[in-house]
Amino acid sequence: MSIEVPNDVRYIESVIGLIQYECRLLDFPSRYCALNLPVALSEALSNAILRGNDDDPEKAVNVSLSATTQSIVIEVRDEGPGFDLEASTHDPADPANLEREDGRGVFLMRALMDRVEQFDDDGNVVRLTIGRP
């Protein structure tokens, strides 16, 4: 399954709706469909739209989902140059971060998925993988 949407955060909720639907069709645990996937995907999408694509309304974001009986793999592609996943992960347990408004996205993505990978492929791609428990 793949979806291309305009570079606008208002689309995030309905893209997630489609992925949640797929998650339930595949009979993954309800927590994965209600928490892990939607939150991780919201982070990846808002970063793609606001960071990678710099909130530019002329750009687009691509989401693809592929699933096996054992795992769901979601790729989010923006038109930006990519970023350093390690350097962008901030520990919210650090007291200096606790009262910050931002900076929890990449951390949450990694905490909620089994694997998060970043690679460049004519733009930036973030790949999220979660396995059946």
Partner 1 sequence: MSFAIDKQGDIVVVDVEGQLIVGNRQELKQKVLDELEKGGRKFLVDFTQTGYIDSSGLGVLVSLSKKIREQGGELRLANLNDDLKTLFELTKLDTLFQIADTRERALESF
CB of 62 to partner 1, least distance (A): 18
| Closest among 63, 81, 64, 89 to 119, alpha carbons compared | 81
Please identify which residue in 10, 58, 84, 86 interacts with partner 1, judged by CB under 8 A: 10
Under the binding rule (CB under 8 A), the answer on residue 133 touching partner 1 is: no
Q: Checking phi first, is residue 55 left (phi over 0); if not, alpha (psi -120 to 50) or beta?
A: left
Say how many residues touch ligand ADP, by CB under 6 A.
Answer: 16
Please identify which residue in 3, 5, 26, 39 interacts with partner 1, judged by CB under 8 A: 39
φ/ψ of residue 91, rounded to 5: -85, 115
- Burial string for 36-48 (b: 16+ CB within 10 Å, else e) reads bbbbbbbbbbebb
* Nearer to ligand ADP among residue 104 and residue 132 (C-beta): 104
Specify the stretch interacting with ligand ADP by CB under 6 A; choose among 1-9, 20-28, 64-72, 96-104. 96-104
